[in-house]
Amino acid sequence: MIEPQDTPTDQAAPALPDLDCAPDVVMPEVIYEGDNTIVNIGPSHPSTHGVCRVIVELDGEIVRHAEPVIGHLHRGIEKMAENRTYLQVVPLTDRLDYVGSMYANWAYCRAVERLAGIRVPERAEYIRVIVCELQRIASHMMAIGPAGADTGATSAFMYTFWQRELVVDLFESLCGARLTYNYVRPGGVSFDLPDGWIEKCREFVAQHPAAMLEIDRFLFGNVIFRARTKGIGVLDADDAVSWGASGPVARGSGVDWDLRRDDPYSVYPRFDFSIPVGDNGDVYDRTRVRLWEAIESCRIIGQALDGLAEFEPGTIKADGMPRLLAPRPGDAYDHIESARGSLGVYLVSDGSVRPYRMKVRSPAFCNLALLPLVSEGYTLSDLVVILGSLDPVFGEVDR
């Protein structure tokens, strides 16, 4: 385990930059009076971003209450982990957050390493940071694009998905899989970087910020998108904290909290990066925070690629790793900043080769719980946009 060094504490959170675009359209307030109607959305509905069922109580077109019904993708991963050895659990964690598999891999491996007292080589830590920041970009592309699609701007999805495909290609050349990587393992990573990968990664990082700024201009500067998302689904900072929101959902509300800086893990203290924070807590800020995070991720990847040269290639696995891990009885919890927020894994060991209990603290679950709070009083069509901005991944919500 690498101890945090020279933690940057005085980094001020930068506000999102102003955009030069047309003034906002203020939508007229519509008031309905009458009996409430119950409308059922899902569990198979394109706007629920997965298999979520939402029971909506409507007054005219205004949402009075929206109740998410979860569990349609409950696969019992936590229970399954109790019947797998520590190494066999890693592929299961891939299927938790399937938009960002690397995070669940990493959070689980950190918990195992803490439990068993494994020291990870620094080269492996750098590679983990690189792949996880690439994963953050890929995951945010799946949040920004659908935000455009939900409001009718399908072309934005095409642009963001192209960027995601570039990341997926990088991962494919790294570990052979497009989606479920099984790459981060307890004690290190499974393969070293292949020949020419660093150059390909640098090419991606060089072109990505420009692509993001283009989307910033044509999506976030678009007058229709602004009218549909500004002032919609407002979540204030106190509520965000008390409901346990994390990640871009909390940061969009002005909560300046990011585990990479505030509870530094791995080699993050060595990098210079900033945490974008919104201030209105609406759909617009939540989504735009993701876009600027993707640009910041490019900075981190660039620095990590530079730092990687110091370490000898091939030193990617911890020394003396047994074939079958059997940690001493005890428990361990570790968390990382995933694309959706603070993702934690709690492991209990009874001294055998299998975990006695695994519990996943899922940011998507906590963020989805906010839906009744943030959607109340907005229209049904806004509910779709609000649900998308919370960016739930149901593999992780239902586990």
Partner 1 sequence: MAGVDDLAKALESTPGGGIILTSIDAIADWARGYSLWMMPMGTACCAMELIAASFSKFDFDRHGSIPRPDPRHTDVMVVAGTITHKMAPAVKRLWAQMPDPKWCIAMGNCAVSGGIFYYDTYSVVRGVDEFLPVDIYIAGCPPRPESLQDAILRLREKVRAESISPSRVRAVEGVLPLPGDPLRGETADAAPEGSDV
Binding site for partner 1 (CB under 8 A): 40, 43-46, 50-51, 53, 71-76, 79-80, 83-84, 91-92, 94-95, 98-99, 142, 157-158, 161-162, 165, 168, 178-180, 394-395
In whole angstroms, what is the distance from residue 223 CA to residue 21 CA?
8
Shortest spacing between CB 330 and partner 1, in angstroms: 24
Shortest spacing between CB 180 and partner 1, in angstroms: 6
- The answer to whether the beta carbons of residues 123 and 187 sit under 8 Å apart is no
Shortest spacing between CB 290 and partner 1, in angstroms: 17
Shortest spacing between CB 86 and partner 1, in angstroms: 15
Q: Which is nearer to partner 1, 79 or 119 (CB)?
A: 79
Q: Which is nearer to partner 1, 66 or 96 (CB)?
A: 96
Place of tokens 């990066």: 273
Dihedral sign (CA 269, 171, 202, 159): negative
Nearest to 126 by CA among 333, 338, 270: 270
Q: Which is nearer to partner 1, 94 or 113 (CB)?
A: 94
C-alpha dihedral over 102, 103, 107, 110, to 10 degrees? Answer: 50
Shortest spacing between CB 149 and partner 1, in angstroms: 11
* Helix (H) / strand (E) containing 225: helix 223-229
Q: Which is nearer to partner 1, 55 or 373 (CB)?
A: 55
Torsions phi, psi of 304, nearest 5? -65, -35
Shortest spacing between CB 178 and partner 1, in angstroms: 6
Q: Which is nearer to partner 1, 128 or 354 (CB)?
A: 354
Helix orientation angle between 283-308 and 380-390, rounded to the nearest 10 degrees: 20
- Token readout for 276 is 């974008």
Shortest spacing between CB 361 and partner 1, in angstroms: 20
Question: Beta strands of the chain (E only): which ranges?
Answer: 36-41, 53-59, 62-69, 184-185, 188-189, 330-338, 341-349, 355-361
Question: Beta strands of 175-287 (E only): which ranges?
Answer: 184-185, 188-189
Q: Which is nearer to partner 1, 178 or 328 (CB)?
A: 178
Q: Which is nearer to partner 1, 51 or 275 (CB)?
A: 51
